[in-house]
Amino acid sequence: MIKIYTLGTSAGTQPYPGSHHVSTALEINGSLYFIDAGECCGYTAYLSGADILFTRAVFITHPHMDHVGGLANLLWYVRKMTTGEGAREFPREALDIFVHEKDVYDAVMLLLKNTEGGFKCSYAHRPHFFEAGEIYKDENISVTAVPTSHMPPKDGSPQSYAFIIKADGKTLVFSGDINIADFETVLPEECDAFFIETGHHRIEEIRGGIDRYGKIVKRFYFTHNGGYIMLDKQGAKEKVRSVFGENAKVCSDGEIFELQ
């Protein structure tokens, strides 16, 4: 069973009430996996009832602030669970962090090193500066990174990625930030769930892209929502229903659901 927490559901917009920058967590067999770590994702996860001490890996699609701005804070909160009131042991020897850009990881850790107690932890932080391909596999999930054209390549290496995650016999795709033309390479022929950002395109354009490339998507989750959705969420929900029918959901912060 895959439990999904939509912790932050806004694109890199100005602040809107009740919506924070993008982050989703998957809980599988007691392990937590974060896909992107926008502002205050650790806080929202904790308040949503997720046991963030069981954070096993964090996967960052690309280094824009709305995807990485809450990473330091998430790691800080995890350590806090091992040192604060009612401290408990971190259950593993290391927490895995997947980020393409080494500078970003180094900056986050430098920030943390200057916080309380020099950020000394009873466990390690294990960075992975990934490229395209399968980047992670354990007994619960596998994660494959597929480049997107959202950011220009740097020194010949793609900087922005989507993730294809296989878990519990299902295929989930997290778009990261994406152009519609990337659907062709990012989406497998068929997937169970597509977490698609709406910050860079309209609902109808997403439908058009799916049809153009002949992909089968069983269920859509709209997240990383653009300002036009935040300003009229009810209107967006009606639009989604008219374009996609019942197999689509406009996500909000702090929702918890099982993958259908």
Chosen residue from 12, 127, 188, 227 binding Zn ion by CB under 5 A: 12
What is the closest distance, in whole angstroms, from the C-beta atom of residue 150 to Zn ion in the complex? 6
**Separation between Cα atoms, residue 112 and residue 134, nearest integer Å:** 29
Strands (E), the chain: 3-8, 23-28, 31-35, 55-59, 94-98, 124-128, 133-137, 141-147, 161-167, 170-174, 190-191, 193-197, 216-217, 220-223, 248-250, 255-258
Taking the least distance from each CB to Zn ion, the nearer of 13 and 171 is 13
One-letter amino acid of 46: Y
The stretch near Zn ion (CB under 5 A) out of 8-16, 121-129, 186-194, 240-248 is 8-16
**Residue 177 interacts with Zn ion (CB under 5 A): yes or no:** yes
The yes or no reply on residue 227 touching Zn ion (CB under 5 A) is: no
In the complex with Zn ion, the residue whose CB is nearer, 177 or 192, is 177
Binding pattern to Zn ion, positions 130-149, x when CB under 5 A?
Answer: --------------------
Of 56-64, 69-77, 132-140, 162-170, the segment contacting Zn ion by CB under 5 A is: 56-64
- Binders of Zn ion: how many residues, by CB under 5 A? 4
Site pattern 16..55 for Zn ion (x: CB under 5 A): ----------------------------------------
Whole-angstrom distance, CA of residue 230 vs CA of residue 238: 13
Q: Using the rule CB under 5 A, is 64 a contact of Zn ion?
A: yes
Where would I find the beta strands (DSSP E) of 36-160? 55-59, 94-98, 124-128, 133-137, 141-147
What is the three-class DSSP state of 212? helix
Closer CB to Zn ion, 64 or 239, in the complex: 64
Sort residue 40 into left (φ over 0), alpha (ψ -120 to 50) or beta. Answer: left
**Which of residues 21 and 56 has its CB atom nearest to Zn ion in the complex?**
21
List interacting residues with Zn ion (CB under 5 A). Answer: 12, 64, 66, 177
